Structure 1
């Protein structure tokens, strides 16, 4: 039976500011990427999100990003490999500690926003992320969607899960359409569901140009800050189950 993990970026509220619909989405996913306080989140939000995920049997993942609360981690900051290593180790270690207070362990790590984009262009930065993950716990998985991050994780013997996106469009080279460009986001649940079914069942995605691009799909991301994210998760999950696809953490 084919299978897919459905992951979602969560715990992105901060203080009195609320982001996303975590309680509504959590029952419809199988792994949660929890913000670690740099691009979003704070210690209290991290703890409450871990508890929420555990109540629903959802796998825990750290979602480290750049130190940019105002820009939500989507603005690039020039950093060298040593700095990236430290910021990833700090964030993953913090969430690992919070998980331990609840008798739980982390399942995976997934980089956020601009940090993800930076690793896609720099093998040195990807190596720094992978090394930080390995040094904390070599049993952790890394969710990957670019070549450098994939190669860096595999070089250390880390398990990888190939990530695809329900609510983002693709380019001919298999990369995501930049958010700054038209049609980067898919806002129609029916279109998103059709894209996911093709990715999971056929191992390809239709790029904006109309070209079918091959890819691997182990885990599917639904963005928690996307409008209608709960509807996306519900509809996509129902469609995949109707196709006989098992939905479970990798």
Structure 2
């Protein structure tokens, strides 16, 4: 199982995250594409870090919402969503060409990610962008989505459009009994204890997760999202990377 991390989210004089410190310990870098965060210079710097550490590069497109960090839903037609996502993937791919890197997957950001999982038309619009771009690529882009108890609907739609899915779990988020993430507004929704985070990642690596109310659910996960925005979180990522070598 691979570790993925959102990166390249600084822009201008605003610095966010410790990308150079966390990059050596992750397998996949979800790089912001300039809409919810980042700019060409920070995108290029993050790509270069990923290339140097042999980390997979993923496009991390979001709504055009820097002031809200892409966490606000913005109404779009399905066609506009397809163009929004394709535009951002294209920007990252162009910068990758300057550094010898290659975009291998797409993980929508923030509200766009949540809307993709909640609204079939948005999921299909994003699938359409990835599928259409794959017609012109030598290696196909994959799409990362939230792992759930029942992924059949998403899997069937993706198969119809020839897109391979990557199922994502979360290291520090509590799960509810229905297999979804506990809303951040609920007490206990985010784990801060390193032991609990390590325990959950070990469970996810073995195809299961313990819910917030103590149930054990089967959950297929290809990759786990981690964070590297402070020294404490980097230390946890370093330990998780070491733990997964022995799973």
State TM-score, norm by structure 2: 0.92
Q: 1:230 aligns with which of 234, 239, 242?
A: 234
Q: 1:61 to 1:47 in 2, by over 3 A?
A: same
CA distance in 1, matches of 2:161, 2:99: 29
CA distance in 1, matches of 2:210, 2:20: 32
Q: 1:151 to 1:66 in 2, by over 3 A?
A: farther
Is the 1:130–1:149 contact (alpha carbons within 8 Å) kept by the matching residues of 2?
A: no
CA distance in 2, matches of 1:204, 1:180: 24
Q: Alignment partner of 2:103: what SS?
A: coil
Q: 1:171 aligns with which of 157, 176, 197?
A: 176
CA distance in 2, matches of 1:127, 1:53: 29
CA distance in 2, matches of 1:46, 1:167: 26
CA distance in 1, matches of 2:46, 2:178: 35
Q: Which has the higher contact order (CA 8 A, sep 6+)?
A: 1
Query: What is the RMSD computed on CA atoms of the aligned residues?
Result: 1.6
Q: In the alignment, which residue of structure 2 is the partner of 1:137? A: 134
Q: In the alignment, which residue of structure 1 is the partner of 2:100? A: 103
CA distance in 1, matches of 2:170, 2:69: 19
Q: In the alignment, which residue of structure 2 is the partner of 1:214? A: 218
Deviation digits for residues 208-237 of structure 1, max 9, x if unmatched?
A: 111112110111110334773211211111
User: Which residues of 2 match residues 47-196 of structure 1 at below 5 A?
Assistant: 47-137=44-134, 139-145=140-146, 147=151, 149-196=154-201
CA distance in 2, matches of 1:214, 1:228: 29
Q: Alignment partner of 1:228: what SS?
A: helix
Q: Unaligned regions of 5+ residues in structure 1, if any?
A: 246-250
CA distance in 2, matches of 1:13, 1:149: 32
CA distance in 2, matches of 1:226, 1:165: 18
CA distance in 2, matches of 1:90, 1:47: 16
Q: Alignment partner of 2:239: what SS?
A: helix
Q: In the alignment, which residue of structure 1 is the partner of 2:18? A: 21
Is the 1:189–1:235 contact (alpha carbons within 8 Å) kept by the matching residues of 2?
A: no
Q: 1:11 aligns with which of 1, 8, 29?
A: 8
* Structure 1 residue ranges (4+ consecutive) displaced by more than 4 angstroms after TM superposition: 146-151
Q: Unaligned regions of 5+ residues in structure 2, if any?
A: none
Q: Alignment partner of 2:220: what SS?
A: coil
Higher mean C-alpha deviation, range 192-201 or range 151-160: 151-160
